[in-house]
Amino acid sequence: MTENPAPPDQPLDLQDLARRYLDLWQDHLKAVTEDAETSATLAQTMTLMSSGAQAFADAATKAAHNDQATDDEADGTAPAAAAPGDADVRPDELAGRIAALEKRVAELESELGKRSGGSDSGD
């Protein structure tokens, strides 16, 4: 930054303030890019942010397509099973994940019963 800030008793010139802000921002970016470690971290951060934004956009697009498909259903419920030929769904993996979830729910219910002092079995 080459100019000194105006004393507080002078009126604020927005163009001058914007110019000083941009000068400061450019000086900061120049200093950051000269540090190799910081530059690498920023590049990695931007890559992660871009991939996260792309994943969000993909999910939003998929959800929009799913919403259109379910709008045609009378009761509004999703299909109970994956479509035939869906290579991403493995029944053994799905069963294992469901079992793990059931175990976790049982643990949480047990912990909740201990905290509340009740002996609800839930079944």
pLDDT tens digits for range 13-28: 888 899 999 999 999 8
Residue 52 pLDDT greater than 90, yes or no: no
pTM summary value: 0.32
The pLDDT tens digits of the residues spanning 71-95 come to: 555 455 555 555 555 556 677 888 8
Q: Which pLDDT value is given to residue 39?
A: 81
Share of the chain above pLDDT 90, in %: 9
Tell me the DSSP string of the chain.
Answer: --SPPPPTTSPP-HHHHHHHHHHHHHHHHHHHHHSHHHHHHHHHHHHHHHHHHHHHHHHHHHHHHHHHHHHTSSS-PPPSSPPTT-TT--HHHHHHHHHHHHHHHHHHHHHHHHHHT------
